[in-house]
Structure 1
Amino acid sequence: MRGILAVLGYGGEAPPVQGKKDNSSRRVRVLELSRRLKHRGPDWSGLHQVGDCFLSHQRLAIIDPASGDQPLYNEDKTVAVTVNGEIYNHQELRRRLSSSHTFRTGSDCEVIVHLYEEHGEEFVDMLDGVFSFVLFDSRDRSFMAARDAIGVTPLYIGWGIDGSVWISSEMKALNDDCEHFDIFPPGHLYSSKNGGAFRRWYKPPWFSEEAAIPSVPYDPLALRAAFEKAVTKRLMTDVPFGVLLSWSPDLKAAREVAEYLGTTHHEFYFTVQDGIDAIEDVIYHTETYDVTTIRASTPMFLMSRKIKALGVKMVISGEGSDEIFGGYLYFHMAPNKEEFHWETCRKIEALHQYDCLRANKATSAWGLEARVPFLDKEFIETAMDIDPEWKMIQPDIGRIEKWVLRKAFDDDHKPFLPKHILYRQKEQFSDGVGYSWIDGLKSHAQLNVTDKMMSNAKFIYPHNTPTTKEAYYYRMIFERFFPQKSAILTVPGGKSVACSTAKAVQWDSQWSANLDPSGRAALGVHLSAYDHKQKEQQHLPATVVAGAGNKKPRVFGLPTHAGVTIHS
């Protein structure tokens, strides 16, 4: 991933720089703020300025490392764009353009400026990939910005008191200079040509609760083919890459998978205390105080540092599968296929505030890019068209969590995985590397937050009032970094059990008294939630398979307290 910052119409007084008060001080300020995103793109930086409009970029070079620096331009540089993302169908789009265009680089993102030249602002739905971008047209001083369908790439938008518009990959580049800022909604486009209004460009039928429940029969081969296609797209890279595997409370299963795949297995260890020591950095980079996200982001943050140190710059990750297929343990209690389906829809719509945010920001903190094939537009369309009756968890007939996905890869002739691994019960992300991680976090919060502090929580934090000491502890740290009301409002709230939406809490009357985000809260469902041997673990495992080009992949097993990746 990369880091982008655009400031459009920066006409007010910028902070003075070395006694200067002219436009150069504003340029220096933009550069200063852009450097706050340097962790996202440590390979190069660029800035394009036309008068009071600035497009800046921090680059992580994955495609065309030699010449793909940004911002990118059309032939006469009247149109410029700064992009965070990957356009997987860029070669096809190049072929569909007229022959009048000249490409300066091999970057997959350069196609955006030329699509704009031919199609105006109506080209966004043609892009197959994940992206956030800001495009500036100096011919009429107009600009547009867009974010990918699900919100895999993060994006924020803010407004200055001088009338300027600010758009950034992370809010840390906006929070000191904008009067107000907010999340840029996924699947939307923002244009100065229509008065700065948002409009949705991604309109799948399952987004509307007025739409009919899907009725397409389950076809395991079609689902497998759609996923294989989504993965293949994401192998577009010119640098070493890896694959993140599911977590396990011990390394036994990870080692077995590595042996089965014929990969070289490496293990790294860090302790619960290592994770606790990293909490402040995690909150600064993920820009959230949500308990579930922090629990899961911390091990991913620590593991990303290890992966990047090994020379790997991109990894394939499994975010989205639990949302699409109803893999969370609380889905056992879905009362019918209609509620099951609408809950998956609600979960997918909220991904940009939870798993997408975690996977992107925890990895980007170390200049590592995570690609998520489950959130491929075409794959989502195929998976969400399936009659949800097939997705329902029915243990009496052998249908466990994400059965339709597992079954699609259950091939007796050419097995993808051993069956006992393929059909292993799902672990919640923040539980999957050992329950001692969550218990350790709670104990640490208990030492740092008093009962008296909790008694006044509703006055100190009237919005999203923390209801546990762990939540209070994270909130204190968050507001040290991001005290602005706008920042506080970007974090979601509401009741949840085992990662459910507030609506799904209504499925079981007992859940309202046990609102913990841990998967263990789904009482009576998990087979080993209170295994004392697991709870006593001091070192926590995680695994990743890594490889590049024709080189044999390598598996890296790291014990971290929650998970670096991946859902089956």
Structure 2
Amino acid sequence: MCGLVCLWNVGNEEMAARMIVKLEHRGPDATQITSLKGAPVIMAHSRLSIIGPQDGAQPIIQGTDMLIANGEIYNHADLRAILGKDIFQTASDSETILHLFRSRAARWVDRLDGMFAFVLATPDRIVAARDPLGIKPLYVARIGEGLAFASELKAFDGLGLQTIETVPPGTLYDSRDGWRQWYRMPQGAARAEPGLDVEATARELRLVIEAAVAKWMVADVEVGSFLSGGLDSSIIAAIAQRQLKQAGRAPLKTFSVGTAGSPDLIAAKAVAAHIGSDHDEYVFTSDDLVENLPHVIYHLESADIDLVRSAIPTLFAARLARRQVKAVLTGEGADELFAGYTYHHAYVDDPRALADELTRSLGTMHNINLQRVDRISMAESLEARTPFLDRDLIAFAQSTPAELKLRRTDPDRIESTGPTTEKWLLRKACADLLPESLVWRKKAQFDEGSGTVAALQDALQTLTGNTGVIDRVQEGAFYEKTLRDRFVDPDLILANAGRWVADRVAA
């Protein structure tokens, strides 16, 4: 995981240095600035070494071509075997991007399996691309006749720019051929075909999830796991722990946070005991929020109320985990794939609308939850991985009928889950991994289950000097003021900030 900056036909090394220094939290292991002989390009890279830690420094140069990348290519070993091991100079997974490009294979970028954002330059061409869902960020700004790319908005702050664009998920830019969308989200299925074997579907889903977890644990460093005690992170942690145990390796390190006595801490401790993970927790207070809110908002690059609220416990979890590991698994994406939010209940009698809504929400994750996870984990130099957003798992989940994801609750489940059960098929597929009371635990938002919302009132009163109840308008105004105070060009940041948008498919 890394921070990157690329200047094409614009600027100089001093400008690149000013930009990359603002991203060094993304990669504290090494920072390098390089120009390509004979080409109008300067690349800067701050590295967090995960794969190929000894020789994977970037930018990577092969002949007259140069690459910088952020993320992980999980099928890099297979690609090495296909492309020919002799052409590789490093053990870095990122080098496969460069050789795929140089192979001139049709739709070469589609062969990359992982989470990534990269910029690649030749003497007369610049190419940039982003992974299917936008797990890894990439922005671009036009400066005169040139282009400037960077991993975060803050790298552009103070340059006097008028506009910045997000490189869309699943999209590639080529200075020779323009923009093209190389990945399209598969449309979700609505109803089951006659005779569908639900038990077999659940078993197959389990196998696909297990394969995704195994793939997303590949690293040359130890990988831990966030564990909130909710269904999604518990499933990922339980499978990861099983795989480590089968391989004869040390127990999975799991991490949870919350206020004293919060539901998340209690549930996470129970899950950790059940699966046998090496568990650690951090109990935070309103004083911790007072101290860290400005830090959260600066790194989040957003003043959106809901994003800030959920970013707070993410920060404490990332900080806790980084003391022991460089990378963690998370449960992000399960709600969007399997209908896990409370508002999905309105779609229980309309599987077609539910399938369309899940497809829509998957396509917006890069601007909300994935931005939160990336920015806040990287603020602590921690790589966050999202196995539920594996391409194979997305394809399988989207082919699964929506009516199996959200179902009218069985009579004996009503007391614990309400009249409608979200993520029904996911629960069924993984029911043996966890105690029944945990498998069917009612979902809580991360900021609620962790106790953040309650502690936030006290923190905001301290920060604003207002002793009364802080409503959402006042809360949002404080977040925006805090953001404005941290940036030279706050309007530019706010214009591109991640935010929740109510554009849901009608039920």
TM range (shorter): 0.7 to 0.9
Which residue does the alignment assign to 1:113?
98
Which residue does the alignment assign to 1:67?
55
Using the alignment, how far apart are the partners of 1:306 and 1:468 within structure 2?
A: 31
Query: Deviation at 1:32?
Result: 2.2
CA contact (8 A) 1:494 1:502 kept: no
- Aligned pairs for 1:393-432 (under 5 A) are 393-396=407-410, 398=413, 400-411=421-432, 416-432=433-449
CA contact (8 A) 1:431 1:438 kept: no
For the structure 1 residues 40 and 493, does the alpha-carbon distance in structure 2 shift closer, same or farther, using more than 3 Å as the test? closer
Letter in 2 for 1:49: S
Query: Deviation at 1:494?
Result: 6.5
Using the alignment, how far apart are the partners of 1:165 and 1:214 within structure 2?
A: 46
Indicate yes or no: 2:394 matched with 1:380: yes
Query: Deviation at 1:446?
Result: 6.6
Using the alignment, how far apart are the partners of 1:445 and 1:394 within structure 2?
A: 45
Query: Deviation at 1:295?
Result: 0.5
Q: 1:172 aligns with which of 133, 144, 154?
A: 154
CA contact (8 A) 2:461 2:468 kept: no
Query: Deviation at 1:265?
Result: 3.4
Q: 2:72 aligns with which of 86, 90, 101?
A: 86
CA contact (8 A) 1:215 1:385 kept: no
Using the alignment, how far apart are the partners of 1:48 and 1:124 within structure 2?
A: 24
Which residue does the alignment assign to 2:166?
183
Query: Deviation at 1:154?
Result: 1.2
Q: Which runs of 5+ in 2 are unaligned?
A: 230-261, 414-419
Letter in 2 for 1:191: D
1:513-567 deviations in Å (ceiling 9; x for gaps): xxxxxxxxxxxxxxxxxxxxxxxxxxxxxxxxxxxxxxxxxxxxxxxxxxxxxxx
Indicate yes or no: 2:187 matched with 1:206: yes
Query: Deviation at 1:252?
Result: 2.6
- Aligned pairs for 1:337-348 (under 5 A) are 337-348=351-362
Letter in 2 for 1:489: A
For the structure 1 residues 449 and 91, does the alpha-carbon distance in structure 2 shift closer, same or farther, using more than 3 Å as the test? farther
Using the alignment, how far apart are the partners of 1:447 and 1:395 within structure 2?
A: 46
Query: Deviation at 1:394?
Result: 1.6
For the structure 1 residues 392 and 268, does the alpha-carbon distance in structure 2 shift closer, same or farther, using more than 3 Å as the test? closer
Query: Deviation at 1:473?
Result: 1.1
Which residue does the alignment assign to 1:19?
none
Using the alignment, how far apart are the partners of 2:350 and 2:308 within structure 1?
A: 32
Indicate yes or no: 2:133 matched with 1:150: yes
Query: Deviation at 1:98?
Result: 5.0
Indicate yes or no: 2:504 matched with 1:503: yes
Secondary structure in 2 matching 1:431: helix
CA contact (8 A) 1:449 1:472 kept: no
Using the alignment, how far apart are the partners of 2:91 and 2:395 within structure 1?
A: 30
Query: Deviation at 1:64?
Result: 1.3
Which residue does the alignment assign to 1:331?
344
For the structure 1 residues 253 and 205, does the alpha-carbon distance in structure 2 shift closer, same or farther, using more than 3 Å as the test? closer
Letter in 1 for 2:222: P
Secondary structure in 2 matching 1:319: coil
Indicate yes or no: 2:497 matched with 1:491: yes
Indicate yes or no: 2:12 matched with 1:41: no
For the structure 1 residues 71 and 493, does the alpha-carbon distance in structure 2 shift closer, same or farther, using more than 3 Å as the test? closer
Letter in 1 for 2:146: S
Query: Deviation at 1:38?
Result: 0.4
CA contact (8 A) 1:10 1:52 kept: yes
Secondary structure in 1 matching 2:164: strand
Letter in 2 for 1:80: M
Secondary structure in 1 matching 2:145: coil
Secondary structure in 1 matching 2:449: coil
Q: 1:192 aligns with which of 172, 175, 188?
A: 175
Using the alignment, how far apart are the partners of 2:40 and 2:458 within structure 1?
A: 50
For the structure 1 residues 214 and 2, does the alpha-carbon distance in structure 2 shift closer, same or farther, using more than 3 Å as the test? farther
Segment drifting more, 280-289 vs 120-129 = 120-129
For the structure 1 residues 257 and 205, does the alpha-carbon distance in structure 2 shift closer, same or farther, using more than 3 Å as the test? closer
Which residue does the alignment assign to 1:322?
335
Q: TM-score, normalised by structure 2?
A: 0.84
Using the alignment, how far apart are the partners of 1:104 and 1:250 within structure 2?
A: 46
Using the alignment, how far apart are the partners of 1:493 and 1:365 within structure 2?
A: 19
Query: Deviation at 1:242?
Result: 0.5
Indicate yes or no: 2:251 matched with 1:246: no
Query: Deviation at 1:298?
Result: 1.3
Using the alignment, how far apart are the partners of 1:494 and 1:229 within structure 2?
A: 31
Query: Deviation at 1:427?
Result: 1.1
Letter in 2 for 1:324: L
Q: Which protein has the bigger helix share?
A: 2
For the structure 1 residues 448 and 69, does the alpha-carbon distance in structure 2 shift closer, same or farther, using more than 3 Å as the test? farther
Using the alignment, how far apart are the partners of 1:393 and 1:441 within structure 2?
A: 39
Secondary structure in 2 matching 1:179: coil
% identical equivalent positions: 34
For the structure 1 residues 449 and 347, does the alpha-carbon distance in structure 2 shift closer, same or farther, using more than 3 Å as the test? farther
Which residue does the alignment assign to 2:385?
371
Q: TM-score, normalised by structure 1?
A: 0.76
Which residue does the alignment assign to 1:545?
none
1:201-237 deviations in Å (ceiling 9; x for gaps): 0023318xxxx74646440011111111110001111
Query: Deviation at 1:480?
Result: 2.6
Using the alignment, how far apart are the partners of 2:174 and 2:408 within structure 1?
A: 47
Letter in 2 for 1:153: K
Secondary structure in 1 matching 2:18: helix
Query: Deviation at 1:489?
Result: 2.0
CA contact (8 A) 1:275 1:299 kept: no
Query: Deviation at 1:276?
Result: 2.8
Which residue does the alignment assign to 1:291?
305
Secondary structure in 2 matching 1:356: helix
Using the alignment, how far apart are the partners of 2:450 and 2:212 within structure 1?
A: 27
For the structure 1 residues 396 and 185, does the alpha-carbon distance in structure 2 shift closer, same or farther, using more than 3 Å as the test? same
Using the alignment, how far apart are the partners of 1:405 and 1:259 within structure 2?
A: 22
1:404-453 deviations in Å (ceiling 9; x for gaps): 11110123xxxx111111111111122111241354466557746999xx
For the structure 1 residues 250 and 229, does the alpha-carbon distance in structure 2 shift closer, same or farther, using more than 3 Å as the test? closer
CA RMSD for the aligned pairs? Answer: 2.5
CA contact (8 A) 2:186 2:395 kept: no
Query: Deviation at 1:122?
Result: 2.8
Using the alignment, how far apart are the partners of 1:148 and 1:169 within structure 2?
A: 13
Letter in 2 for 1:327: G
Which residue does the alignment assign to 1:53?
41
Which residue does the alignment assign to 2:236?
none
Secondary structure in 1 matching 2:172: strand
Using the alignment, how far apart are the partners of 1:449 and 1:128 within structure 2?
A: 51
Using the alignment, how far apart are the partners of 1:259 and 1:450 within structure 2?
A: 41
Using the alignment, how far apart are the partners of 1:40 and 1:449 within structure 2?
A: 37
1:225-284 deviations in Å (ceiling 9; x for gaps): 111111000111111220111256253322222221223433322202212321111111
- Aligned pairs for 1:549-560 (under 5 A) are none
Which residue does the alignment assign to 1:518?
none
For the structure 1 residues 317 and 367, does the alpha-carbon distance in structure 2 shift closer, same or farther, using more than 3 Å as the test? same
1:295-333 deviations in Å (ceiling 9; x for gaps): 0111211221222123x1010111111111110111122
1:381-406 deviations in Å (ceiling 9; x for gaps): 00011111111242245462211111
